Structure 1
Amino acid sequence: MSPLEKAQKQLQAGKWAAALKSAQIGLKKAQTDWRLNGIAGQSLLNLGKPKQAAIFLDRSRKSGPDDNEAHTLLAMALIRSDRLEDALLVLEKTPLTPRNELKTQLMIGHIAIAREDAAAVSVAAKRVEAINPDHPESLMLSANACSLNGLNEESAKFFEKAAETGALGLVPYHEAVRHYMRAAQTEASTRVLNAVLEIAPEDGETLLLAANDAAQNGQTDLALERYERLLQKVPAHAESLKSLAHTLTSEALLELEPRIDKALQRHKKRSSEAALLHFAKAEVFKRAHADDEAAAQSYARANEIEFEARQPFINNLQSEFDLLTSAPFDGPETSSSESIVTPVFVIGLPRSGTTLVEQILSAHSSVVPFGEQSAMRQAVKSVYENASYPSGETIKKEYLSRLPSTWSKTPFFVDKLPANYRFVRAIFAAFPNAKIIMADRNPVDTAWSSWRNAFPSEHMTYTFDQASMAEEFNFFRKYTQLWGQKFGDRILTLPYEGTVTDLEAATKTLAQYIGFDWEEAMTRPQDVQRAITTASVHQARQAVYQSSINLGDARAQELKDFIANLDPDLWPELDL
């Protein structure tokens, strides 16, 4: 039996190491044999050595026939080696045949996903759909195309279709749940979760999603039960332990403490899991032991690890500010027509009271909350790409196309993405009738609250470094000062401190500003039954309290780097 025949049989049998060895023996006498090079490359790829595999597969591609599978295998090896641009060049030159066309287009789509190139993903998705619209991976590609374009509801539906094929395991179920949550489709996310819980009731990722879903919907006991079930399977599961640390009573935290300590021993000292566990440990020190000094050390440790793990972190805040405030519009800034629906945007810094404002508004019978939507950023993405705003009418159309489909069925809806403070100019261009409420809170209190939380979004990386957080706060003040000069009382500034000390007065101010009749239910925001997906989920279930006012004053030492980097000209109310 020749080395080639032997290597082919071993490859078919899944004996990768043996196939590689046989191919290498054959290549000693026939270095350019495309089949032997292909077998060696495919074996190395299966053995988890993509960089070495790429060398052999490139030889096979160059010396073999055009329909040689080495083209797509080489692209796969390059992708796994993080050489996305090289992989794309290979795929673009791959001769398409009925056998490889679907795989080639799918890989082009996956590269586009990795590059977060929404337009390229959409093109690839359409090509794949034309070849086989019901292929599971085709459905997944379409789902990702929708996701990158901010169409979370449509994305979830594609993920559901992919899940129904049964060919991709639980992944599409999980993605459907996440996207339904982002689209504020609570009933749909719970429906999919219940379906997957029937299929795999003990799957770890499913239990985590189910626990988070229960917590977000105010089902605390069910959430605790699900976190505990997950911890029975994975005792060192950091996210579950952190969630329990924020939920349990101070007495129960004492029983949780040794479990956190044991989990810390299981994870690498500078991993994201360790950071979450230090956040959990800080809660134990703060609430169970009343040891503020030890809690501060744990918070500092957690933030340091998390910030380091997310490096490199680059904030181009000045260039973004210049772009968003001065880029020309494609047409008059107020060209958009009036809408029969009044959009209400709640903006501010993270942890400044935006969730409280949303809860108050959600208690009104005429209001539908949509949570934190990225739709406005998507609608003005041409500003970042071409340094030019589209017309107000175009922004309006693009924005509404990315909202949950129920937007047109209510007189008022709320978009509570704090970072929309950057897009006030675009909001008023698209919706002259828009209501914008800016949550305003003492910046030191806001920073302290952010410092105590672990935000998963990459856009929130700055909260793990005090100097970066101060820079973000400074630019927030620059934006809001400019919008105040330009739009005046079209924006309502709602101080957090005044809201929690006189809730009834604050709710009446909101009702008058927005233009609906005040309802007494607005003074009981904790009773609103809806999913809360932000870091405020635990506080939002409690009656409004005043204990979080001036918390930062007692934490000046722990926030010294933050305070030192605040611009005194922008924050004259502070004694800097």
Structure 2
Amino acid sequence: MTYENDMLDAQKYLQQGNYKRSLKAALSASRKSPGSAVAANITGIATSATGRPGDAIKYFQKALKLTPDFPDAQKNFAQTLILIGRPGVALAQLAKLAIRTPADWKVWYLKAQAELALGKEKDGLASVDRALALTATSVTVHHLRSTINLSLGHIKDAIDDLYAALKINPEDVVALTNLSLPLARQTRFEEALEVVQKAVKLAPNNVAARYRLATQFVEMGRSEDGIFHYNAILDMQPDHAGALEQLTLLLSKAEVAALEPKIQMALKKVARNSEDRASLFYALSAALSAQEKPLDADKMLGLANKEMANLLPYDPVADADVTRAILGRFPAILESDGETSTAPYPVFVIGLPRSGTTLVEAVLGAHPHVAPLGERGTAGFLLRDIIEQNLPFTRNDAIKMIREDQRLMPDLPEGTVAYVDKMPENYRLVGFLKSAYPNARIINVRRDPRDIALSMWKSHFSGTALSYTYDWDRMAFRFNLYAQSMAHWKTILPGQILDVHYKDLVEDVEATGRSMAAFCDLEWHGAMARPDLNATQVLTHSATQLRRPVHTDSIEKWRKNPDLLTPFVKGFDRTLWSDYLSD
């Protein structure tokens, strides 16, 4: 075989996806022509494609040493640096390359990837727009733009990006799958179901599409359909951690207990220090609990939370600093001139996660003129730069925030007078929210912190925002920050925050619901007493619970195993929680 033949084989196999044979041919070509930058570059591509991006670096470096101005090697080198977690180095390379080759869309695309990885989403959006200006028909660029927009909280824009990709390729299974959740977040539930059903129809063995479809069904209250598709995933991939975990939340007690052998088998194969391993520990805990083995179940819960705590570090000092900085912006009673009052007006339902915010939203959302919008993270995204960079928040800034917030809002039904945003963590932003929306109603949901903590301990949350929930000490620390924050907001906003106690709500939903309605200047409607009959889609851990009539089963669950919460309770500031810790 000649060098030329080896190179032809390397490129042919690369295009066919046969990366091992491509690598073999490329290495042979490099041995025959050690001074070939092209051979070194192909070797690097094939090496990375076989799952060894770290090893690929030396081949790209060799190619660039041989031919410093080799554009393909420069881009491949940068892309591999991003893959191995060195986006800063990649960005420095790409910034120079963008100056030399401004008409190369791939350079801007890679630059956007590096900026996204570095948390520079706005720069990434500008770069990906440059790429789109050069190649509007690239599906991958539209996908990246969608990812960046989602990271910025621009859900509407992300949806537009994915539909743009589908206009180019209507059978893009990845776009159809990725489109489902943003559509659901915009309360376009049937559309969210339709697109992912199409994805599964096009690719029945696509596990990601099937998983999203199962989840969509569960969130819409169609648990049996969800169970069917989670089981279909296990038929394809018996050790799928997510499907096993979700089934333990949906099946009967006997069926959950029967899952233990499958979970144990999956644990033997799963990688250590991985979220999949945590998922399997959560699932195993549920299976053992179903077998009436509480001590073993608690042990597995501890392992699940330990795994997640290691994966998602929490910095209490930084968190406390952010909280103090936010509260320090609003030192005195907050006066409003009412100039930025809006209609419909927002009702912000806040509190600790798992405190009952979903139920409160469901009660209010059963009103015919109230739109329940779920957990909108928009406010946090819009305020992120102001908070992180300690920028001023002027009247003009508040107006800009309102305009962007309303632009990104789902279409509201005709006749809507109020909408509910039940992002619990908005409790940190109350000062900003009341400054921007003087006519906003703030409802703070309170629940016995031990019940909240126990619920958190048993929950596997998506994303990184709730990293404190996987460690008892972290939880206690964050709970104290919440209590301090609410004490401050009530001081500077006297009479403008309604406390709703979860216990009161579930024991007498009508009486508590009426007080909520009055606080929000809404007439009481009988349907508000049966939120289970009005629930649409629920995107939180309460998806299945909310389908039941309001009940008191979750009150004082912590008493069944108080010793489990001992380290949590020790971390409490008792002056902040005296109304709950008297016993």
| TM-score w.r.t. length of structure 2 | 0.91
- Equivalence for 1:526: 532
Residue equivalent to 1:26: 33
Distance of aligned partners of 1:504 and 1:39 in 2 relative to their CA distance in 1, 3 Å threshold: closer
State the Cα distance separating 1:416 from its structure 2 match: 0.6
Provide the C-alpha distance between the structure 2 equivalents of 1:236 and 1:53, rounded to a whole number of angstroms: 31
Partner in structure 2 of residue 460 of structure 1: 466
Paired residue for 2:53? Answer: 50
Superposition deviation, residue 459 in structure 1: 0.8
Contact 2:535 2:546 in 1 (8 A): no
1:102-251 counterparts in 2 under 5 A? Answer: 102-166=105-169, 169-251=172-254
Q: CA separation of 1:212/1:45 partners in 2, compared to 1, >3 Å: closer, same or farther?
A: closer
SS of the equivalent of 1:458 reads coil
Identify the range of structure 1 (187-196 vs 213-222) with the bigger mean alpha-carbon deviation: 187-196
Tell me if structure 2 keeps the 8 A contact 1:324–1:383: no
Instruction: Report the Cα distance in structure 2 between the residues aligned to 1:56 and 1:253, rounded to whole angstroms.
Output: 50
Cα distance in 2, alignment partners of residues 237 and 218 from structure 1: 23
Output the CA distance in 2 between the equivalents of 1:241 and 1:159: 29
Determine the structure 1 residue equivalent to 2:92: 89
What corresponds to 2:569 in structure 1? 563
Contact 1:347–1:419 at 8 Å: present in 2 too? yes
- The residue number in structure 2 matching 1:400 is 406
SS of 1:347 mapped into structure 2: strand
Give the letter for the 1:236 counterpart: D
Q: Which of 259, 265, 276 is residue 279 of structure 2 equivalent to?
A: 276
Q: Is the 8 A contact 1:110 1:121 kept in 2?
A: yes
Q: Is the 8 A contact 1:470 1:562 kept in 2?
A: yes
Query: Is residue 13 from structure 1 mapped to residue 46 from structure 2 by the alignment?
Result: no
Q: CA deviation at 1:571?
A: 1.6
**Partner residue of 1:500?**
506
Q: In the alignment, which of 388, 392, 403 is matched to residue 391 of structure 2?
A: 388
Q: Is the 8 A contact 1:75 1:88 kept in 2?
A: yes
Gapped runs of 5+ residues in structure 2? 14-21
Asked if 2 retains the 8 angstrom alpha-carbon contact of 1:136 and 1:168, the reply is no
Query: What residue number does 2:16 align with?
Result: none
Q: Identity over aligned residues, as a percent?
A: 25
Task: Please identify, of 444-453 and 272-281, the stretch whose mean Cα deviation from structure 2 is larger.
Answer: 272-281
Alpha carbons 1:151, 1:403 under 8 Å: kept: no
Q: 1:340 aligns with which of 340, 343, 359?
A: 343
Bigger Cα displacement from structure 2, 181-190 vs 207-216: 181-190
Are positions 1:365 and 2:368 aligned together?
yes
Q: In 2, Cα distance between the equivalents of 1:322 and 1:407?
A: 39
Deviation at 1:371, TM superposition (A): 0.7
Cross-structure match for 2:357:
354
Structure 2 SS opposite 1:494? strand
For 2:291, give the aligned amino acid.
Answer: H
Cα distance between partner residues in 1 of 2:429 and 2:336: 14
Partner of 1:296: 298
* Candidates 471, 474, 484, aligned match of 1:478: 484
Question: Quick one: which amino acid aligns to residue 105 of structure 2?
Answer: L
Structure 1 unmatched ranges of 5 or more: none
Q: 1:361 to 1:312 in 2, by over 3 A?
A: closer
In 2, are the aligned partners of 1:7 and 1:39 still within 8 Å (CA)? no
Distance 1:426 1:61 in 2: 51
After superposition, what is the alpha-carbon deviation per residue over 1:126-185, rounded to whole angstroms, capped at 9, x for unaligned? 201211222212212322232222111220231133134339952222211122123332
Which residue of the other structure, out of 443, 463, 470, is the alignment partner of 2:449?
443
Q: Cα–Cα, structure 1 residues 304 and 267, in superposed 2: closer, same or farther, change >3 Å?
A: same
Aligned partner of residue 174 in structure 1, secondary structure:
helix
Query: In structure 2, what is the equivalent of residue 419 of structure 1?
Result: 425
- Per the alignment, do residues 399 and 267 of structure 1 end up closer, same or farther by CA in structure 2, a change over 3 Å counting? same
Q: Is the 8 A contact 2:330 2:431 kept in 1?
A: no
Distance across 2 between alignment mates of 1:60 and 1:168: 37
SS at match of 1:459: coil
CA distance change for structure 1 residues 52 and 271 in 2, over 3 Å: closer, same or farther?
closer
In terms of mean alpha carbon deviation, does 559-568 or 424-433 score higher?
559-568
1:334 and 1:108, CA in 2 relative to 1: closer, same or farther beyond 3 A?
farther
Measured at CA, do residues 92 and 483 of structure 1 come closer, stay the same or move farther in structure 2, by a change above 3 Å?
A: same
Give distance in 2, aligned partners of 1:519 and 1:258: 49
**Equivalent position amino acid for 2:365 in 1:** S
2:558 matched to which residue of 1?
Answer: 552
Indicate the RMSD between aligned Cα atoms, in angstroms: 2.6
> What is the rounded CA distance, in whole Å, between the counterparts of 1:408 and 1:399 in structure 2?
19
Do the aligned partners of residues 97 and 67 (structure 1) sit closer, same or farther apart at CA in structure 2, a change above 3 Å counting?
farther
**1:156–1:175 contact (8 Å) kept in structure 2:** no
**Against the structure 1 CA distance between its residues 66 and 417, is the aligned structure 2 distance closer, same or farther, given a 3 Å change threshold?**
same
What SS does the corresponding residue of 2:564 show, helix, strand or coil? coil
Contact 1:334 1:430 in 2 (8 A): no
Contact 1:157 1:176 in 2 (8 A): no
Per mean C-alpha deviation after superposition, the further-off stretch among 10-19 and 34-43 is 34-43
Shift in Å, 1:46 = 4.2
For 1:469 and 1:64, the matched residues in 2 are separated by: 55
Question: Contact (CA 8 Å) 1:349, 1:419: kept in 2 or not?
Answer: yes
CA distance 1:9–1:285, shift in 2 (3 Å): closer
C-alpha displacement of 1:200: 1.7
Tell me, yes or no, if the aligned pair for 1:121 and 1:144 is still in contact at 8 Å. no
CA contact (8 A) 1:323 1:383 kept: no
1:6 to partner: Cα distance? 5.0
In structure 1, how many angstroms separate the alpha carbons of the residues matched to 2:80 and 2:382? 36
Measure, in 2, the Cα distance between the counterparts of 1:260 and 1:2: 52
The superposition leaves residues 298-341 of structure 1 with CA deviations (integer Å, 9 ceiling, x where unpaired) of 22222122222334766622111122112489xx9746521121
Deviation at 1:492, TM superposition (A): 0.5
Check 1:290–1:162 CA distance in 2 against 1; reply closer, same or farther (3 A cut).
same
1:561 is displaced (CA, Å) by 1.2
SS class of match (2:503): helix
